[in-house]
Amino acid sequence: MPGQGRQGPDSFQRLARREGYRARSSYKLLDIDKRSKLFKKGFTVLDLGAAPGGWTQVALEKIGESGKVFAVDILRMAPIEGATILQGDILNSDFRKTILETTGPVDVVISDISPNLSGNYSVDQARSVELSQMALHLSVEMKAKSFVTKVFQGEDFSDFKKEVNIYFKSVRVLSPLASRKTSSEVYVIAKNRKS
Ligand SMILES: C[S@@+](CC[C@H](N)C(=O)[O-])C[C@H]1O[C@@H](n2cnc3c(N)ncnc32)[C@H](O)[C@@H]1O
């Protein structure tokens, strides 16, 4: 990972190209995992908003050959060896049912979903929270041990965090090094599901 402190986006873009990652966002998940220890060998992972596949690549490395990754996106995604790709909209309840039926129990749900930006921040922020709520509900139904989601900070953020606290004992908010300096995105990291 590039040196100390928050770097310009270009250094992560260059590094991603050099190290064979499909997106600079891979370094956000590497940083989150370094600080929060999400993955273990053999885990099953659901990756929501997975295209082009940077997080999927990191998850596959972390869980090893005995693990499984299901990568979900509304967009078409080029195949990644070792991952099962599901294309659809997580706001669609039939598609969510398909996800649940396909994956079975999952150890970790990771979501880097971003809404299509409208340019109106409060609209985009509300959409980001709605997508994160869907991801949270899927992780609860799947009885995931840990859950990570990107959320835009704003009005509904603290209510969303309280909702995550209903289901998980440990909830932290991180801003990974590879996030752009000007970004309002943060990552909610929830561990130790309450039974
Ligand atoms: C920032 S990108 C994810 C980058 C990815 N984590 C990576 O490392 O390559 C956000 C993704 O969320 C997806 N997305 C947005 N809304 C969605 C929805 N309703 N259902 C499924 N995917 C969605 C977008 O298509 C986009 O690919």
- Tens digit of each residue's pLDDT (9 = 90 or more) over 173-191: 999 887 777 679 999 999 9
pLDDT at 96 (0 to 100): 98
Q: Which domains does the chain have, with CATH numbers?
A: 9-193 (3.40.50.150)
Residue of 28, 145, 150, 191 marked active site? 150
Distance 50 CA to ligand 1 centre (A): 5
- Greater pLDDT, 10 or 45: 45
31 in Cβ contact with 41 (< 8 Å)? no
Known catalytic residue: 194? no
Whether the per-residue pLDDT at 172 is higher than 70: the answer is: yes
CB 78 near ligand 1, within 6 Å = no
Q: How far is CA 71 from CA 92, 160, 171, in A?
A: 16, 24, 24
Whole-prediction pTM:
0.94
User: Which ranges constitute the DSSP H helices of the chain?
Assistant: 9-19, 26-36, 54-63, 93-103, 121-141, 157-167
For ligand 1, mutation pick of 47, 48, 74, 124 (most atoms within 8 Å of CB): 74
CA 108 to chain centre: 10
Q: Quote the pLDDT of residue 192.
A: 97
Q: What per-residue confidence (pLDDT) applies to 183?
A: 76
